[in-house]
Structure 1
Amino acid sequence: MSETLREKIRTQAGNQCGYCRSLQKYVLGLLEIEHIIPKAKGGTEDEDNLWLACRLCNGYKGIQTDAIDPVTGRRVKLFNPRKQEWSRHFEWGEDGTQIIGRTACGRVTVIALQLNNIVSVTVRQQWVLAGWHPPKEI
């Protein structure tokens, strides 16, 4: 993948994880270019299949593309940060540290990517105290 394409995706994503909304300036290590549809499941390196994700979100996502919604029991596709609006599917909990799924897509993504894992919530608590979180929508 060319450096030009990497920079284009970083710019399009606002240097922010498409899933947990962590900003590059607050994350240790570079945010990763992730495949929305994993290569192992036929995904390509075309721009429309690439977005920015933090290491935790990308690692938890792995090759997942869908999951069972605990409310409806239906299999639902995971959130696509390139094509879907974050605030339609998610919201921040009252204290700004937890991500709440507002839709079936949001709920399965919160669960599959473990968006409220203990490490993320603990770090977000400190970001809230510093006045850095929750991030503004891009």
Structure 2
Amino acid sequence: MAIPTAVRLQIRQRASFLCEYCHSSEEISPARFEIDHIQPRSIGGSDNIDNLALACQRCNSHHYNFIQGKDPETLNAVNLFHPRQQVWNHHFIWSNDGCRIIGITEVGRATVTRLDLNDEIRGEGEIMRARKAWVKVGWHPPLSDSRKFF
């Protein structure tokens, strides 16, 4: 079932037009962001607005139908970050240069790894190059996150 345009706009506004996982800005992205099912439909998730998040194409494709990841520090399997139930700044901070997302909890670290938020699987890729450019011109990290450096 297609998500109505009015609901899509409500989700974008609720997220302040940021990907709810990596906090990239839709405004400076070359592609329009997608509506992600936090609990994927393929495993019983609904189209209820509380199960929907704004996600860049990269995060949405990495999220796929996963709801858990492995914390690389503790090796525990934990639920991935849930933007409707958890606060981003409680699980993630930005590196000093504002380019890398650092998980500060099991949930944060598992999400960084599962969604490959820093292009670490393939080496420095498009998101890291984009973040470096965005930092240079003052577009990144988002203002709501800027006080959360590590």
User: Partner amino acid for 2:109?
Assistant: R
* Distance in 2 separating the partners of 1:107 and 1:133: 21
Aligned with residue 2 of structure 1, among 1, 4, 17: 4
d(CA) in 2 for partners of 1:84 and 1:98?
20
Matching residue's letter, 2:116: Q
Code of the residue aligned with 1:103 in structure 2: it is: T
Deviation per residue, 1:54-81 (Å, 9 max, x gap): 0000011111100111222211000011
Once superposed, which parts of structure 1, at least 4 consecutive aligned residues long, lie more than 4 Å away?
A: none
Verify the 8 A CA contact 2:91 2:107 in the aligned structure 1: yes
Query: How many aligned positions are there?
Result: 138
Letter of the 2:128 counterpart: V
| Alignment match of 2:35 (pick from 33, 36, 42) | 33
Q: TM-score, structure 2 length as denominator?
A: 0.89
Q: 1 or 2, which has the higher helix percentage?
A: 1
Per the alignment, residue 127 of structure 1 pairs with: 134
Instruction: Quote the RMSD (CA, aligned, Å).
Output: 1.0
Amino acid at match of 1:54: C
C-alpha separation between the residues in 2 aligned to 1:68 and 1:26? 31
Q: 1:52 aligned to 47, 51, 54, which one? A: 54
Structure 1 residues without counterparts, runs of 5 or longer: none
Q: Which residue is equivalent to 1:13?
A: 15
- Aligned residue for 1:78? 80
* Corresponding residue of 1:61: 63
The Cα shift of 1:82 comes to: 1.7
Structure 2 counterpart of 1:36, which letter?
A: I
Distance 1:114 1:70 in 2: 12
Partner letter of residue 11 of structure 2?
Answer: I
Note the C-alpha offset of 1:129.
0.5
Identity of aligned residues (%): 41
Mark the runs of 5 or more structure 2 residues left unpaired by the alignment.
120-124, 146-150
